[in-house]
């Protein structure tokens, strides 16, 4: 999904790998300017609760087991492990 600021000719690449019995890894790469993940505001604080941005990274970190950013913030790596059910 592209931000409204991105020109339509820019591309987003998504790579997904599923490891049976282990988990799923996703890499999302775009041609945007990138960002510094250390400077992303917490969307749950009082001063940011009504902001119209900043929830995507919050949700990724809340739902995935691992999240890290590379290439100056133009690439996000996420991993979610599968929990094995005991029989």
Q: Tell me, what's the pLDDT at 68?
A: 96
Domain ranges across the chain: 12-81
Nearest Cα residue to 80 out of 13, 15, 1, 18: 18
Average pLDDT over residues 64-82: 95
Instruction: Please give the backbone phi and psi of residue 16, each rounded to the nearest 5 degrees, phi first.
Output: -130, 135
pLDDT band at 5 (very low <50, low <70, confident <90, very high): low
Report the mean per-residue pLDDT for the chain: 87
Could you tell me the sign of the dihedral formed by the alpha carbons of 71, 69, 8, 54, in that order? Answer: negative
The sheet carrying 12-19 orders its strands as 12-19, 23-30, 75-81, 66-70
Q: How many CB atoms lie within 10 A of CB 30?
A: 20
């Amino acid at each position: 999904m592209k931000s409204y600021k991105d020109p339509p000719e820019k591309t987003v690449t998504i790579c997904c790998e599923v490891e049976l019995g282990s988990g799923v890894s996703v890499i999302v790469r775009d041609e945007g300017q990138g960002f510094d993940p250390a400077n992303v505001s917490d969307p749950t604080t009082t001063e940011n609760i009504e902001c119209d941005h900043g929830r995507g990274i919050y949700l990724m970190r809340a739902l995935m087991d691992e999240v890290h950013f590379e290439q100056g913030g133009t690439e996000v790596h996420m991993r979610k492990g599968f929990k094995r059910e005991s029989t």
